[in-house]
């Protein structure tokens, strides 16, 4: 088997231009690019094709060296990456509140050692920071590639030496296993499937399989045009019609991956298709040449601008960010990247390059460790720190997870935590973390009226709706079984006279009805209504009363950024940027309120509206009162916020006392 040196293909740089443009336009919110995130998948295919071609040519020429391979990776990745990290540290130190900056410290460490994909997977829980406070979030894809290339060259060497060059057998086999794991995992462990190398390896391997030359070369222009046009159509379709709601990666990722593969395949063996000629136009090729820097720089610029202005970007701001990214990337290519990769590179000695790279990684990781261990360096601006809400120190939330009662606990008869400590419990709070946001309010009322209740809340988006499991869940904790156990728990305790049901009702998810009553796909509203009716009916049949709690308004952005930045510049926070109006709240909760109004007709059902306390006289959401934020993040009440809305439960507790 012979492998020739890969000749330069301008159309592949053009394909890079499509990939990076799609990602950037998606991130800045340009219409028509709702699926632009697939640009990363296109990059994976390109990378697999090019690097496999280089490795195999050197293996069969007897010139391959692991040390030289990693030298090339260092010269390709490090020169542009570490100036970017330096930039994010400087601007993060100036802009970020301590909570965001502490988390950023971890990100610096993970990015330096190409493990950020693992960190972001672990941080993908319900209460973790929003992506807008993670300027290095996009480095997860670099981590996937570098982890892949730790073992991949060794695999190719092993196949060459011990398996008679049967590349197609091994690569195709691993590719299929990875693809099947990806398709399955997107339903059961979506975050892990998105971020981890094993479930992404198949995308790089598509490119690798193209590089081993087992597919017949296209000799006719008609065939080249047919394959390349089909490939571009696949890419355009996925970029234009996929959205963040698309089940991804999974089977959906096949479309852009096949698209990129077809475009690359159409140019193997010489000859150019019409698409290839278009992709080879000099301005398009230039975008491809600076695509690595474009990818690196665009996201931090978006993050810092968004954090500073605390609102969506305008068209002028989008244009400015894109132009700034282009300028920085052009300068990076000419003055940083090319000098390290040229015929007479900076630091030509391989050993010195490895040593200096190692020292650089250690220094940067020490900086990240210091930021993390110093809790985000709150002494940078003490006045602003006092206004920031932190779940680790907020009384209502600091022990929330400890007080959760999970499925295993319910099955073993574990007693839930109590709300209030007066008399035997006479009520139960059932719901997700939004129900948990009511704990302070209910504690205040419990103290006022001398009663107590069970806290049966769960922080993993477990809505209190019977017979339903979410389709996509990283938690894999069986919501339907958990909620049924809650009902069994209440049934076994006749002293519970009232069940307070609350949740994040407007957060749409995909569900499956485990009872079999509803088969096939149904809207979220249909499932919510049926599940909630089951829950209410189950409680009423026990002779207990039901209190249904509507949800609080969801802010457009978390309050910490706007508070911190305002105090940093000695200004008054402008909460209108993040505060939804009554009309917006009613629109978001339209279906939910209709369901509640229908259930309100049942006897022994009371509806409580905490949102009624959270709108000012202008109809905008109240974010801060008494110099304290009422919100922890976009949708969870702080201790102060829960206390603020507590009066809406006064009549409920009066009724409970009368029942006793």
DSSP string, 252-272: GGHHHHHHHHHHHHTTTTS--
pLDDT of residue 557: 86
448 vs 132: which has the higher pLDDT: 448
Q: How many CB atoms lie within 10 A of CB 177?
A: 13
pLDDT of residue 544: 94
Instruction: Please give the average per-residue pLDDT across 136-150, as a whole number.
Output: 96
Q: How confident is the model at residue 408 (pLDDT cuts 50, 70, 90)?
A: low
Q: Which domains does the chain have, with CATH numbers?
A: 10-380 (no CATH), 400-659 (3.40.50.1110)
Instruction: Please give the average per-residue pLDDT across 416-427, as a whole number.
Output: 84
Flag whether pLDDT at 387 surpasses 70. Answer: no
Instruction: Please give the average per-residue pLDDT across 30-41, as a whole number.
Output: 97
Q: How confident is the model at residue 421 (pLDDT cuts 50, 70, 90)?
A: confident
pLDDT of residue 365: 97
pTM comes to 0.89
181 vs 560: which has the higher pLDDT: 181
Flag whether pLDDT at 126 surpasses 60. Answer: no
Helix (H) / strand (E) containing 236 = helix 221-241
pLDDT of residue 386: 64
Q: Cα 587 vs. chain centroid, distance in angstroms?
A: 25
Flag whether pLDDT at 473 surpasses 70. Answer: no
Flag whether pLDDT at 292 surpasses 70. Answer: yes
Flag whether pLDDT at 558 surpasses 60. Answer: yes
Long-range CB contacts for residues 485-494, cutoff 8 Å, separation at least 24 = 485/407, 485/410, 485/411, 486/410, 486/430, 486/456, 487/535, 487/538, 487/539, 488/410, 489/410, 489/416, 489/428, 489/454, 489/456, 490/428, 490/430, 490/539, 490/542, 490/544, 491/542, 493/425, 493/454
Q: How confident is the model at residue 403 (pLDDT cuts 50, 70, 90)?
A: low
pLDDT of residue 125: 57
pLDDT tens digits, one per residue of 512-545? 888 888 776 788 999 999 999 999 999 999 999 9
pLDDT of residue 213: 87
Cα 602 to Cα 468, 526, 541, 546: the distances in Å are 22, 19, 12, 10
Instruction: Please give the average per-residue pLDDT across 366-394, as a whole number.
Output: 83
Instruction: Please give the average per-residue pLDDT across 120-139, as a whole number.
Output: 78
Instruction: Please give the average per-residue pLDDT across 280-291, as a whole number.
Output: 97
> Do residues 482 and 412 touch, judged by C-beta distance below 8 A?
no
Calculate the average pLDDT of the chain.
91
How far apart are the C-alpha atoms of 426 and 660, rounded to whole Å?
Answer: 8
How far apart are the C-alpha atoms of 454 and 415, rounded to whole Å?
Answer: 8
pLDDT of residue 412: 62
Flag whether pLDDT at 395 surpasses 90. Answer: no
Instruction: Please give the average per-residue pLDDT across 475-499, as a whole number.
Output: 87
pLDDT of residue 439: 93
pLDDT of residue 183: 96
Q: How confident is the model at residue 324 (pLDDT cuts 50, 70, 90)?
A: very high
Among 212-226, 351-365, 617-631, the range with the most confident prediction by mean pLDDT is 351-365
Whose CA is closest to 562, among 546, 551, 573?
573
DSSP character string of 590-621: HHHHHHHHHHTTSTTEEEE-GGGGSB-TTSBB
pLDDT tens digits, one per residue of 51-77? 999 999 999 999 999 999 999 999 999
Q: How large a percentage of the chain has pLDDT more than 90? A: 71
Query: Residue 66 contacts by C-beta under 8 Å, 6 or more apart in sequence?
Result: 153, 154
Flag whether pLDDT at 129 surpasses 60. Answer: no
Task: List the single range of 37-51, 253-267, 442-456 with lowest mean pLDDT.
Answer: 442-456
């Amino acid at each position: 088997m012979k492998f020739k040196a890969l000749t330069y293909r301008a159309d592949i740089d053009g394909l890079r231009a499509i990939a990076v443009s799609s990602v950037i336009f998606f991130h800045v919110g340009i219409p028509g690019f709702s699926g632009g995130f697939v640009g990363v998948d296109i990059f994976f295919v390109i990378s697999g094709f090019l690097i496999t071609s280089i490795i195999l040519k050197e293996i069969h020429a007897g010139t391959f060296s692991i040390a030289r391979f990693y030298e090339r990776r260092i010269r390709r990745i490090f020169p542009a990456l570490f100036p970017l990290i330096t930039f994010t540290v400087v601007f993060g130190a100036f802009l970020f509140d301590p909570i965001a900056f502490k988390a950023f410290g971890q990100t610096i460490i993970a990015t330096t050692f190409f493990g950020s994909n693992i960190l972001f997977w672990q941080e993908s829980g319900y209460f973790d920071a929003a992506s807008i406070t993670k300027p290095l979030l996009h480095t997860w894809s670099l981590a996937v590639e570098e982890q892949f290339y730790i073992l991949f060259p060794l695999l190719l060497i092993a196949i060459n030496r011990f398996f008679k060059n049967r590349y197609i057998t091994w690569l195709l086999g691993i590719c299929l296993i990875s693809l099947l794991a990806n398709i399955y995992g997107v339903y059961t462990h979506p975050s892990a499937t998105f971020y981890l190398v094993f479930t992404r390896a198949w995308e790089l391997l598509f490119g690798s399989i193209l590089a081993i030359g087992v597919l017949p070369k296209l000799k006719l222009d008609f065939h080249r045009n047919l394959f390349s046009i089909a490939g571009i159509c696949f890419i355009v379709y996925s970029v234009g019609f996929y959205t963040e709601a698309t089940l991804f990666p999974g089977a959906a990722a096949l479309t852009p991956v096949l698209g990129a593969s077809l475009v690359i395949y159409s140019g193997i063996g010489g000859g150019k298709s019409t698409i290839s000629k278009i992709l080879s136009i000099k301005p398009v090729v230039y975008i491809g040449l600076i695509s690595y820097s474009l990818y690196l720089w665009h996201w931090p610029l978006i993050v810092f601008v968004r954090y500073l202005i605390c609102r969506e970007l305008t068209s002028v701001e989008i244009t400015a960010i894109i132009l700034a990214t282009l300028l920085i990337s052009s300068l990076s290519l000419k003055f940083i990247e090319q000098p390290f990769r040229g015929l007479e590179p900076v630091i030509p000695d391989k050993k010195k390059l490895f040593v200096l790279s190692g020292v650089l990684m250690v220094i940067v990781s020490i900086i990240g460790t210091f930021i993390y261990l110093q809790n985000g360096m709150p002494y940078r601006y003490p006045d602003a720190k006092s206004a920031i809400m932190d779940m680790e120190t907020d009384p209502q939330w600091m022990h929330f997870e400890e007080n959760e009662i999970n499925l295993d606990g319910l099955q073993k008869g574990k007693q839930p935590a109590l709300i209030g400590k007066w008399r035997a419990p006479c009520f139960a709070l059932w719901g997700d973390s939004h129900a948990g946001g009511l704990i302070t309010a209910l504690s205040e009322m419990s103290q006022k009226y001398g009663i107590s209740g069970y806290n049966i809340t769960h922080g993993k988006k477990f809505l209190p709706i019977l017979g339903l499991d979410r389709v996509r869940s990283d938690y894999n904790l069986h919501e339907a079984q958990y909620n049924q156990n809650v009902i069994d728990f209440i049934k076994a305790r006749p002293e519970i006279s009232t069940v307070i049901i609350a949740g994040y009702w407007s957060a749409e998810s995909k569900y499956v009805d485990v009872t079999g009553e509803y088969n096939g796909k149904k809207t979220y509203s249909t499932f919510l209504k049926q599940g909630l009716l089951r829950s209410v009916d189950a409680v009423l049949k026990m002779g207990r009363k039901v209190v249904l709690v509507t949800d609080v308004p969801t802010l457009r952005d978390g309050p910490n950024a706007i508070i911190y930045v305002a105090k940093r510049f000695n200004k008054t926070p402008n909460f209108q940027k993040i505060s939804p109006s009554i009309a917006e709240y009613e629109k978001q909760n339209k279906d939910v309120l209709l369901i509640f109004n229908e259930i309100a007709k049942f006897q022994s059902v009371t509806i409580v509206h905490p949102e009624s306390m959270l709108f000012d006289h202008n109809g905008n959401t109240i974010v801060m009162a008494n110099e304290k934020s009422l919100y922890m993040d976009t949708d969870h009440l702080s201790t102060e916020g829960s206390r603020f809305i507590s009066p809406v439960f006064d009549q409920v507790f009066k009724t409970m006392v009368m029942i006793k």
